[in-house]
Chain A
Amino acid sequence: MEMRQDRTFKIMLWLGGISFFLLLLLIFILLFKESLYSINAFGIKFITGKVWDPVNEKFGLFPFFVGTILTSFISLFISLPFSLSLALLLSVYYKEGFINKVLSTTTELLAGIPSVIYGFWGLFFLVPLIRKVEIKLRIPPYGVGILTASLILAIMIIPYISSISKEVIKMVPQDLIEAGLSLGSTTWEVVKKVILPYCRSGIFAGILLGFGRAFGETMAVTMVIGNSNFVPENIFSPANTMASVIANEFTEATKDIHLSALIQIGLWLFVLSVIVNLIGSFIVKRYKIR
């Protein structure tokens, strides 16, 4: 009886695992199949093309690719110092107590806010703020653009990076930390020389998760990026991202070629996130302390 249950349990686990893999494979196949029409029609020009004109059926995703890459990297860059400080504060300096409670609850709440709320907050708070900066800098005061979108994204991904980093830092063996302290190092030196080197692959995994979130975010970005289909000139320019073009145009795409072009963007988004994850897991492995 026991043996039989054991086997059923194992089969169930397998089923769960395999169906997940199959699902991913099927999504890829479907995306590929549905984009074939536009792949055949445009070929490589789809990636290098700078014009997105649904009326005259010209489709090129280059401006959106630039928009996606810029917003996700800039947001990562902005959020990293904040996320790491938060993680260190909660795992090294204030492991428990009132400050820990307040800070960890607020970051958790940050993760629970729907992205459309972030978008609205950005539209009514960040946009006027950025506008003032732009007026001072004497550039067209749109208020929306790459920088505004990146700021929103940065706030959105802080909980992801910080909570994973926090858990990883907590796993640093107490012996190592105490050894460092007993050798006379300050807390800062322990962080720099013991904790961060020990955790770097784990922290990197957290960064990867944050990047993935920034990469695929649609709603909040769409509301503050300006949705302009041109290659952005600087970080204040209005632009568009791959995910937000799909979200914007999918529901009303009546022409087959338009729909297929949008699905092809989805395909590339899929491929890009696979590539990012592969590079990520390579780096995680490479810098793991054995």
Chain B
Amino acid sequence: MKKLILLGMVAGILVSVFTIQAMAVNLTGAGATFPYPLYSKMFSEYYKKTGIKINYQAIGSGGGIRQIRAKTVDFGASDAYVDDEGLKKFSYPILHVPTAAGAVVITYNLPGNPKLKLTGRIIADIFLGKINNWCAPEIKKLNPKVKLPDLKIIVVHRSDGSGTTFIFSDYLSKVSRVWKNKVGRGKSLNWPCGLGAKGNPGVAGLIKQLPGSVGYVELIYALSNRMPYADVQNRAGNFITPSIRSVSLAADTKLPDDMRISLTDTSAKYGYPISGFTWILIYKDLKEGGLTKERAKALVKLLWWMIHEGQKYTEKLHYAPLSKKAVKKSEAIIKSITYEGKRLWR
């Protein structure tokens, strides 16, 4: 008798699991932690609107790329685009759809926390350990009105691999040849000097503890924690205060059709130079990505919603919305998604 009951229970569970799967379309995604607050807001609003549940796991961009390659998720997410070498490892072509832009700001701990102006060259030299005192002539010259203390600069960087470090080092590689040759760009670096701390909170915590320290954090983190940050000179020569607007403006430049572009050191006149997109990664042909047609349709609709209606949630959460140009290009990418060779978007 007992066995019968047990058998019945198991059968019941199995049946209910299968029916739930058959009834609702659920999408799964994994990847970058940076857009996680934005995505959870977007996905919960989307669920309220359509009843489609999206399960997003913020396991990091690297993990997101690996998971979409292994086809264990419907979409991946990354703060750095997959480079040409990385693309070769995919068995089928993938697409990058940008969903928002973010930026990295230079933050510091100085008496009175004055507003500083910095150039790319100076930032590189500070993080290389070449400029190691706050009253260095290079910094003084740019900030004649600020009373800079005779204080040793303590560099604080991220110890964990992160998209933030990638954007930051990508920028420095563009503006400083020494940095490019000695350190290069990547999510984890061989830092020539300084202390490492885990995550934005770790860097912020250490900077608050150490007078004279300097580090980099995501703009959204600096804004919501009211940390001081520097204006950075862009390629056009303007000193730009990092803000949601100046980050959006960074994408006001020539964009490639596949949207795999780094916005750092942008040529946009009023764009903040340490900005970057965050992307969702999908297979160009969703059948090859292992999706059923129903899920594929739902995914395409979701992406379309994210780059249009979904954009209204960006600013409240301190992300920069996509510029008009960026939305246009992304529309074309979404329209090119196919299922068994046939276009899905009508």
- List residues of A whose CB falls within 8 A of some B CB: 51-56, 58, 120, 123-124, 127-128, 131, 140-144, 222-223, 226-229, 238, 240, 244, 247-254, 258
Q: How far is the CA of A143 from the CA of B213 in the complex (A)?
A: 12
The answer to whether A54 and B196 have CB atoms under 8 Å apart is no
Q: Which of B63, B183, B195 contacts A228 (CB 8 A)?
A: B195
Known: A142-B210, A253-B188. A124 touches B195 (CB 8 A): no
The answer to whether B209 and A123 have CB atoms under 8 Å apart is yes
Q: Which of A58, A127, A228, A249 contacts B191 (CB 8 A)?
A: A228
0 or 1 for each of B201-215: is its CB under 8 Å from A? (1 = yes): 010011001100000
The answer to whether B191 and A128 have CB atoms under 8 Å apart is no
Determine the chain B residues whose CB is within 8 A of the CB of A252 once the complex forms: 60-63, 160-163, 187-188
0 or 1 for each of B152-195: is its CB under 8 Å from A? (1 = yes): 10100001111100000000000000000001111111110011
Residue of A nearest to B185 (CB): A55
Q: How far is the CA of A273 from the CA of B202 in the complex (A)?
A: 29
Q: How far is the CA of A67 from the CA of B34 in the complex (A)?
A: 30
Q: Does B197 sit within 8 A of A, measured CB to CB? A: yes
16 contacts between A and B (CB under 8 A): A51-B190, A53-B190, A54-B187, A55-B186, A55-B188, A56-B190, A128-B209, A143-B210, A226-B196, A227-B198, A228-B191, A229-B191, A252-B61, A252-B163, A254-B65, A254-B187
The answer to whether A248 and B188 have CB atoms under 8 Å apart is yes
Q: Does B86 sit within 8 A of A, measured CB to CB? A: yes
Other than the known A53-B190, A54-B188, A249-B188, what 9 A-B pairs have Cβ atoms closer than 8 Å?
A55-B186, A123-B202, A123-B205, A123-B209, A223-B197, A228-B196, A248-B188, A251-B63, A254-B66
Residue of A nearest to B161 (CB): A252
Residue of B nearest to A123 (CB): B205
The answer to whether A55 and B209 have CB atoms under 8 Å apart is no
A211 to chain B, nearest CB (A): 24
Known: A226-B196, A254-B187. A123 touches B206 (CB 8 A): yes
B188 to chain A, nearest CB (A): 4
Q: Does B59 sit within 8 A of A, measured CB to CB? A: yes
Determine the chain A residues whose CB is within 8 A of the CB of B196 once the complex forms: 226-228, 238, 240, 248
Residue of A nearest to B188 (CB): A54
- List residues of B whose CB falls within 8 A of some A CB: 59-63, 65-66, 86, 152, 154, 159-163, 183-191, 194-198, 202, 205-206, 209-210
The answer to whether A251 and B209 have CB atoms under 8 Å apart is no
A132 to chain B, nearest CB (A): 12
The answer to whether A227 and B60 have CB atoms under 8 Å apart is no
A218 to chain B, nearest CB (A): 10
The answer to whether A222 and B62 have CB atoms under 8 Å apart is no
Residue of A nearest to B159 (CB): A227
Q: How far is the CA of A144 from the CA of B208 in the complex (A)?
A: 13
A262 to chain B, nearest CB (A): 10
Determine the chain B residues whose CB is within 8 A of the CB of A251 once the complex forms: 59-60, 62-63, 160-161
Closest 7 CB pairs of A and B: A227-B196, A252-B161, A227-B159, A251-B60, A53-B190, A55-B184, A55-B186
Q: How far is the CA of A52 from the CA of B63 in the complex (A)?
A: 21
Determine the chain A residues whose CB is within 8 A of the CB of B184 once the complex forms: 55-56
Q: How far is the CA of A166 from the CA of B342 in the complex (A)?
A: 72
A80 to chain B, nearest CB (A): 29
Determine the chain B residues whose CB is within 8 A of the CB of A54 once the complex forms: 161, 186-190
A223 to chain B, nearest CB (A): 6
Known: A55-B189, A248-B188, A248-B198. A254 touches B61 (CB 8 A): yes
A123 to chain B, nearest CB (A): 5
B111 to chain A, nearest CB (A): 16
Q: Which of A51, A227, A244 contacts B195 (CB 8 A)?
A: A227
Q: Which of A131, A228, A244, A247 contacts B209 (CB 8 A)?
A: A131
The answer to whether B210 and A249 have CB atoms under 8 Å apart is no
Known: A248-B159, A251-B60. A229 touches B190 (CB 8 A): yes
Determine the chain B residues whose CB is within 8 A of the CB of A254 once the complex forms: 61-62, 65-66, 86, 187
Q: How far is the CA of A229 from the CA of B183 in the complex (A)?
A: 13
B68 to chain A, nearest CB (A): 12
Known: A227-B195, A251-B63. A144 touches B188 (CB 8 A): no
Q: How far is the CA of A223 from the CA of B209 in the complex (A)?
A: 13
The answer to whether A222 and B159 have CB atoms under 8 Å apart is yes
Known: A223-B202, A240-B196. A124 touches B161 (CB 8 A): no
Determine the chain A residues whose CB is within 8 A of the CB of B163 once the complex forms: 252
Determine the chain A residues whose CB is within 8 A of the CB of B210 once the complex forms: 131, 141-143
Q: How far is the CA of A229 from the CA of B188 in the complex (A)?
A: 11
The answer to whether A52 and B190 have CB atoms under 8 Å apart is yes
Q: How far is the CA of A123 from the CA of B194 in the complex (A)?
A: 17
The answer to whether A124 and B189 have CB atoms under 8 Å apart is no
Q: How far is the CA of A247 from the CA of B185 in the complex (A)?
A: 21
Q: How far is the CA of A251 from the CA of B63 in the complex (A)?
A: 6
Residue of A nearest to B58 (CB): A251
Q: Which of A140, A142, A247, A258 contacts B188 (CB 8 A)?
A: A258
Q: How far is the CA of A127 from the CA of B210 in the complex (A)?
A: 9
Residue of B nearest to A145 (CB): B195
Q: Which of A56, A128, A142, A250 contacts B154 (CB 8 A)?
A: A142
The answer to whether A144 and B195 have CB atoms under 8 Å apart is yes
Determine the chain B residues whose CB is within 8 A of the CB of A123 once the complex forms: 202, 205-206, 209
Q: How far is the CA of A140 from the CA of B183 in the complex (A)?
A: 24
B326 to chain A, nearest CB (A): 24
Q: How far is the CA of A40 from the CA of B40 in the complex (A)?
A: 42
Determine the chain A residues whose CB is within 8 A of the CB of B86 once the complex forms: 254
Q: How far is the CA of A227 from the CA of B190 in the complex (A)?
A: 11
Determine the chain B residues whose CB is within 8 A of the CB of A56 once the complex forms: 184, 190
Q: How far is the CA of A153 from the CA of B313 in the complex (A)?
A: 43
